[in-house]
Amino acid sequence: MPRTSPWRAAHVVLAALIVALSPSIHAPAQAETASAQAQPAAAPAQPAAAQAQTAAPPAQTIAAPDQAVAPRDQAVATSAHAASYEPKPGTARAADSFRNPVNPSADPSLIYHDGSYYVATTRGDRIGIWRSRSLATLLAEPEQVVWRDGDASRDKQMWAPAFRHVGSRWYIYYTASDGVDANHRMYVLESAGDDPMGPYAFKAKIADFGEYAIDGEPITHNGQMYFVWAGPGRGMGGPAQLYIARMSNPWTVTGGRVAIPADGGCPEVREGPTPLYRNGRTFLTYSTCDTGKPDYQLWMLSIADGADPMVASNWRQHPGPVFSRNDETGVWGPGHHSFFRSPDGTEDWIAYHAKNTSTYTYDFRTTRVQRFTWNADGTPNFGRPLAAGATQRLPSGDPGAATSVINDFDPQVTYAGTWQSGSGCGNQCFWGNDHWSGQAGATATVTFTGSRVALLSVRDRGNGIAAISIDGGPEQRVDYYSGIRVGEQLNYLSPVLPYGTHTLRVRVTGERNPASGSTVISMDRIEVY
């Protein structure tokens, strides 16, 4: 998650037009019962070619397959943006599929519980949760704010909420400050009942050792709960050290802390420690290298069944990153993650944030999910990050939803006025191509059958303002400008409509905000719900 001075650059919370919710955590049974290469950021949202002209571990887990990644939804096919399940452009997508992102925010804690997915992400001034029956519709769900704090010492810079279910209560662990980064400490909320949506009440400050502390959450090993978090590294000048302490209950740390040495391929951070369990072994996965950089990535420690986590030498360091940037698919900075199981308990999934730009920025981090598998030696195999628009099968047991996707070249989209098109935008576009126009009055009309529609496309510093309407109704103005070029961003989500056939019209207004160098509007990916 973004870190501000003194140790990291200024924190910027990703602005979301709207959002959705989903989720589940790999919490062991004991806890349940305890009390790149930078893209030229030239002018408009046109393809890059044109732009160049202007500049207690559950016992049941998945057997390791022969392949490193699950063949049905992870193998990348002919296009860097196409998973093997991807239907041909212009065809309706099956009700058991989805595409990333599933939420336009960062630092996801995603769980599946009692028939619904839930996701909480960094929101800055609040704790918000999104809920959805299917992962396919999570992006279109509204945020429900479950906590705002009236205490000025902890009502700002609220980062990285993490769910835990203990007994008949839900706990949300999070980081907050008074607006000064150095004053970040960790806190926990407790639900009034057995509902992940709350209501929640403030429970406690946790693991306060008098210095900067972020990203804390519990782990359980040998039936004992521990708390792990990130704090300043000795002599390293920043939040580059992982710590662990024993817990006496879900909101109390008891005794001293122990520093856990952790490699990371860079000196900057060791943060977001998150547990994963299998066959008595506890894996501690964590993020390194500054979330604003394209090389933000996941590394991993593990500890054997029966070993004491409070003895630093009992932790085994796994070499190299276990999940990192994938320039081929246009995914940079994958990290700060959580784990969940499919609704039927047969598949393991990772939720993480990543960006569609290699530029050093804390903006534009979105939540993505994908299935992972296990190696023959019992270690997790996370594979490579899939492209944002790659169609994947839903988790096994997900009820699905009647969703579909339309590409800008599909017959459901008609254009009037002067539009250009091409594939120069590469992995920053859905199916590697898009349409764009800067001509005032030019229109793109999408005919779709459903009850809601979302538009995702490139934003850039040469983009202008669009006017968007449904079925000839009032226009909503949307600014496609961005200070850097970034692909497949959620630009518009329609209101809920009566189910049926509708038309969405995007009109190029010929206007732009003062920071923009052009009036271009792009058409790329249309999600239909």
- As annotated, the active-site residues are 107, 271
| CA distances (Å), origin 231, targets 238, 270, 298, 415, 424 | 8, 8, 17, 54, 43
CA separation for the pair 385, 373 (Å, rounded)? 13
The alpha carbon of 12 is separated from its chain's Cα centroid by a whole number of angstroms, namely 15
Beta-sheet strand order (sheet of 525-528)? 404-407, 525-528, 453-459, 486-493
Asked if 57 contacts 143 with a C-beta cutoff of 8 angstroms, the reply is no
| Token duo for residue 96 | 């058991």
Give the DSSP per-residue string, 129-176: EEEESSGGGGGGSPPEEEE----TTSSEEEEEEEEEEETTEEEEEEEE
Reference 117, options 170, 196, 194; nearest CA is: 196
For residue 65 the two structure tokens come to 């397959």
Q: What are phi and psi of 386, to 5 degrees?
A: -80, 155
Residues 6+ apart with CB under 8 A from 108: 23, 119, 120, 121, 336, 337, 338, 351, 352, 353, 367
Cα separation of 54 and 42, whole Å? 6
Q: How many Å apart are CA 217 and CA 339, to the nearest integer?
A: 13
Intra-chain end-to-end CA distance of the chain, in Å: 30
Please give the structure tokens belonging to residue 419.
Answer: 């539009």
User: What's the token pair of residue 390?
Assistant: 């790659």
- Give the integer Cα–Cα distance in Å for 290 and 296: 6
CA 169 to chain CA mean position, Å: 25
Nearest to 452 by CA among 504, 408, 386, 409: 504
- What DSSP character marks residue 426? G
| Residue 64: other Cβ atoms inside 10 A | 16
- Is residue 76 a contact partner of residue 67, using CB atoms and an 8 Å limit? no
Angle subtended at Cα 480 by Cα 474 and Cα 486, rounded to the nearest 5 degrees: 145
